[in-house]
Amino acid sequence: MTTASDEPDQPAGTSPATGRRDYPPAPVSPPLPPVPTNRAELAAIIDHTILKPDATDEDVLKVCADAAKFKVAAVCVAPTHVYLAAASARREARAAGDGGPPAYAVASVVGFPHGNHLTVIKVEEARRAVEDGATEIDMVIDIANAVDENWAAIEFEIHQVRIAVPAPVVLKVILETTLLPDATIRSACRASLAGGADFVKTSTGFHPGGGASLRAVRAMHAAVGGRLGIKASGGIRTAAQALAFVQAGATRLGLSGTADVLAEMPP
């Protein structure tokens, strides 16, 4: 999402004592995204999500049917369900009779939910997901590296996954922001940008510390808004919450209760 005139933040330097990198702040305050005013506009920025470990094929197909009906941006599924979801998206497009692209994008999680997989495993998991039909990857960083502020390690891991799944695959990086203070969130976002991410994402939704927060989204927007997409995910259950996250800077929302949220929006 960068251009020749808007290059990623470059490392200010690496400490020889710690191996940690410091990233400078964004040079300007980015504009906020437009706030949806109706169901269609809100649906267009939703990743309709099913990641519960006991989800069956039938559950996934129901989510896919709802995704086509609501016209969401994507469905987000576990790696074992990518092939099924991608096939369903193609079927929905054929059923519509327009011969166009799949009815929605398919996103797969990588290194989920804890992030402490070996980098080589995340790389292979992402590659296989794309082979199975995913066009978006939501990868969890090694969260301990963010707690330790080991930005070089985070940037390297993201870069390795980026090489394995180059554009136009969309790469989202999950930071588990509930564990991080604002300054650390901002640095993690800039490391994600330098590593080649397209989005930064708040949460897995599985950490006991909680999911998305307005505090975290504001910190993310301050760091990379306008240069990376920002996905708020985890605990968004009402239209009012969804709109508040967009007003804070989110450009994509991860929801499992999509139908209930959209029902609260004007037609």
Q: Left (φ > 0), alpha (ψ -120 to 50) or beta: where does 258 sit?
A: alpha
Residue 77 domain boundaries? 34-263
Residue located via tokens 């099913």 = 50
The whole model's pTM is what?
A: 0.91
* Average pLDDT of the chain to the nearest whole number: 91
- The phi and psi torsions of 73 (rounded to 5 degrees) equal -70, -45
**Tally of domains in the chain:** 1
Which residue reads 């709109």 in tokens? 243
The question of whether 231 is a catalytic residue gets the answer: yes
Residue 132 lies in a domain: yes
Q: Which residue, chain included where needed, has tokens 């330790």?
A: 148
- What pLDDT sits at residue 193? 97
143 or 101: which leads in pLDDT: 143
DSSP character at residue 103: S
Q: Under a CB-based contact definition with an 8 Å cutoff, are residues 242 and 259 in contact?
A: no
In a domain, 44, yes or no: yes
**Tokens 């999509």 — which residue?**
258
Are 211 and 173 in contact by the 8 Å Cβ rule? The answer is: no
Give the active site residue among 122, 132, 142, 201: 201
- Look-up of token digits 């200010």: 12
Q: CB 161: neighbour CB atoms within 10 A?
A: 25
- Asked if residues 159 and 171 have their Cβ atoms less than 8 Å apart, the reply is no
**Which one is catalytic: 47, 172, 198, 231?**
231
Q: What is the pLDDT of residue 23?
A: 74
27: confidence class by pLDDT, cuts 50, 70, 90: low
Single-letter amino acid, residue 39: R
Please report where in the chains the tokens 């009402």 appear, as a residue. Answer: 238
71 is a catalytic site residue: no
pLDDT (mean) for 180-206: 97
Contacts of 29 (CB under 8 A, 6+ apart): 222
Distance CA 56, CA 262 (A): 24
Q: Has 22 been annotated as catalytic?
A: no
Q: What pLDDT shows up at residue 29?
A: 81
Whether residue 249 is contained in a domain is answered as yes
Q: What pLDDT band is residue 212 in, cutting at 50, 70 and 90?
A: very high
User: What average pLDDT score do residues 68-74 get?
Assistant: 97
Q: For residues 139 and 18, which has the higher predicted lDDT (pLDDT)?
A: 139
18 in any annotated domain: no
Largest alpha-carbon pair distance within the chain? Answer: 61
Whether 71 maps to a domain, the answer reads yes
Mean pLDDT of all residues in 82-102: 87
Query: Which of the residues 138, 142, 172, 198 is marked catalytic?
Result: 138
What CATH number is given to the structural domain containing 175? 3.20.20.70
